[in-house]
A and B are shown apart, each in its own frame.
Chain A
Amino acid sequence: MSEVEETIKRIQSHKGVSGIIIVNADGIPIRTTLDNSTTVQYSGLIHQLAAKAKSTVRDLDPQNDLTFLRIRSKKHEIMVAPDKEYLLIVIQSPNEV
Chain B
Amino acid sequence: MFVDEVLDGVNFKSTWKKERYINDRETQTTALLVSDEAVQSYKTVDEAVQTDEEPKRKLRLAEDTSGQLANFLRRTEPYIIKQLTNNLRSRAFDGYDVDLEDDSTSVTSLHTLTYPSLQDKFQVTSLSWNSTGSVIGASYGQQEHEDWCTHRSVMCTWNLDRTGIVADKPDSKIEVDSCLMYIAFHPKNPAIVAGGSFNGEVLLWDLSREDDMLIATSGLGQDSHQEPVTKVYWITDAKGKKIYLVSASGDGKIIQWKIDRKAQKLLPKEGFMVMTQSLPRQMKVKGVRGDREIGVTCLSYHSEDRETFIVGSETGVIFKCSMYSQGPPAGSHIVSSIPLRSPVTFTYNPHHGPVYAVECSPFHRNAFVSASMDQCIRLYSLLQAQPVLTIEPGEGYVHSATWSPVKATVIAATTQSGNLLIYDLKQGKTVPVHNIPASSNKEPVYACQFNPQQTHLLATGDGKGRVQIFKLSSKLQQVSGKETEFLGNLVNVTAE
Contact = CB atoms under 8 A, between A and B. Distances in A.
A3 interface: yes
Given A24-B62, A81-B76, A95-B482, A86 B69 contact: yes
Nearest to B75: A83
B77 A70 contact: no
B80 A88 contact: yes
A63 to B, nearest CB: 21
Interface in B444-496: 479-482, 485
B84 A15 contact: yes
Interface in B46-98: 58-59, 61-66, 68-70, 72-77, 79-81, 83-85, 87-88, 90, 93
Contact of B59 (A3, A39, A77): A39
Nearest to A22: B69
Nearest to B76: A81
A34 B377 CA distance: 43
Interface in B244-262: none
B88 A88 contact: no
Interface in A1-29: 2-4, 7-8, 10-11, 14-17, 22, 24, 26, 28-29
Nearest to B58: A36
Contacts of B58: 36
A30 B62 CA distance: 5
Contacts of A17: 84
Nearest to A67: B79
Range of interface residues on chain A?
35 or more
Contacts of A16: 84, 87-88
A51 B2 CA distance: 149
A28 B63 CA distance: 9
B79 A68 contact: yes
Contacts of A10: 77, 81
A93 B93 CA distance: 13
A40 interface: yes
A84 B287 CA distance: 85
Contact of A92 (B69, B87, B481): B87
Interface string B214-250: 0000000000000000000000000000000000000
A19 B64 CA distance: 20
Most chain B CB inside 10 Å of its own CB: which residue of A11, A28, A93, A95: A95
Contacts of A28: 61-62
A60 interface: no
Contacts of A4: 69-70, 73
Contacts of A31: 61, 69
Contacts of B68: 85-86
A72 B58 CA distance: 30
Contact of B80 (A2, A85, A90, A94): A90
Contact of A7 (B61, B77, B479): B77
A75 B481 contact: yes
B485 A95 contact: yes
Contacts of B81: 10-11, 14
Contacts of A39: 59
A94 B72 contact: no
A45 B88 CA distance: 25
Contacts of A71: none
A75 B62 CA distance: 29
Given A7-B73, A7-B74, A30 B61 contact: yes
Contact of B79 (A14, A40, A81, A85): A81
Contact of B77 (A11, A30, A74, A94): A11
A79 interface: yes
A23 B73 CA distance: 12
A85 B459 CA distance: 56
A90 to B, nearest CB: 6
A18 B234 CA distance: 33
Contact of A94 (B64, B73, B87): B87
Interface string A35-67: 010011000000000000000000000000000
A14 B84 contact: yes
Contacts of A32: 59, 61
A27 B64 CA distance: 12
Nearest to A17: B84
A30 B76 contact: no
Contacts of B77: 7, 10-11
A69 to B, nearest CB: 11
Contacts of B62: 24, 26, 28-30
Interface of A: 2-4, 7-8, 10-11, 14-17, 22, 24, 26, 28-32, 36, 39-40, 68, 70, 72, 74-75, 77, 79, 81, 83, 85-86, 88, 90, 92-97
Given A3-B73, A29-B62, 11 more contacts: A10-B77, A10-B81, A29-B61, A30-B61, A31-B69, A32-B61, A40-B59, A68-B79, A96-B481, A97-B88, A97-B485
6 contacts: A7-B70, A7-B74, A24-B64, A36-B58, A75-B481, A83-B72
